[in-house]
Copies of this chain bind each other. A is one copy, B any other.
Amino acid sequence: MQRYFVLNNQIRGNHIYIFGDDYHHIKNVMRMSIHDKALFCNQEGIVYLGSLESITKNEVVFTILEQLDDNRELSIEVVIAHGLVKRPKQEEVIRRLVELGASKYIPVLMERSIVKIEKSSDPKKERLERIVKEASEQCHRNRLLEITDIYSFEQLLKLREQFDLALYAYEEKRNLKSFKDILRSFTGKNILVLVGPEGGISDREVKLLEDHNFLPIGLGPRILRTETAPLYIMSAISYELELGENNES
């Protein structure tokens, strides 16, 4: 069944009010008519089953039939901080991170980022948010991946204290604690993971990360690209936390 994300203020009493892109989608793409059903997620990730009640020139109204018990979110919050990469790569990563259950994506301006920017606000952020919304509807998420403005490296370091655990993917061979050991013993609520840009993480940045209690993790013997590492990390987290043992997955 089709699924839409709505703001809490679009739900009033027993009704859900739809306009804009979703209105267009329901009317012209799905061509829904009276009594057709759809699912709606509010900003807390609660899912409602709605039945189409009326369509006007710029609004469609659904009546809430019931609230569903349908949680498909990871049990912990995973925030991916990603060295700033070129736009097509960024879009690909974001699309996949939505499916894989990440909570937030933070583009970080790092020393070896090839992409240069003038200011931290991104004029094309609206496009990214549309990608997130579409991908979230398709993969049946309850919450939208949040995309932040571009962070400086110092802003990222400051963010550390809000997290129970902070990691960074690091390919240099050292005595790394295993990502598997770390995940299996983790009992907190949120994780921040940094993946560097194409050129990797500079020595100065590694030093700062260590000073701020970010732990390095290895992701196996092959060198993963900057657009593959976040998917590996999220897949591993889902595998570890979401796939059952001794029963169904």
* Chain A interfacial positions (CB closer than 8 Å to B): 71-72, 92, 96, 99-101, 138-141, 174-181, 217-225, 228, 231-232, 235-236, 238-240, 242-249
> Which residue from chain B places its CB closest to the CB of A242 in the assembled complex?
B220
> Which residue from chain B places its CB closest to the CB of A72 in the assembled complex?
B221
Closest chain B CB from A139 CB (angstroms): 5
Q: Please state the number of chain copies in the assembly.
A: 2
A181 & B246 in contact (Cβ 8 Å cutoff): yes
> Which residue from chain B places its CB closest to the CB of A235 in the assembled complex?
B235
Interface centre among A220, A240, A248 (most CB of B within 10 A): A220
- Which secondary structure dominates chain A's binding surface? loop
> Which residue from chain B places its CB closest to the CB of A237 in the assembled complex?
B239
Q: Which residues of B contact A138 (CB under 8 A)?
A: 223, 225
B242 & A239 in contact (Cβ 8 Å cutoff): no
Q: Which residues of B contact A99 (CB under 8 A)?
A: 222-225, 228
Q: Which residues of B contact A219 (CB under 8 A)?
A: 238, 243, 249
Closest chain B CB from A62 CB (angstroms): 22
Closest chain B CB from A227 CB (angstroms): 8
A178 & B223 in contact (Cβ 8 Å cutoff): no
Q: Which residues of B contact A238 (CB under 8 A)?
A: 219-220, 232
Q: Which residues of B contact A243 (CB under 8 A)?
A: 178-180, 218-220, 236
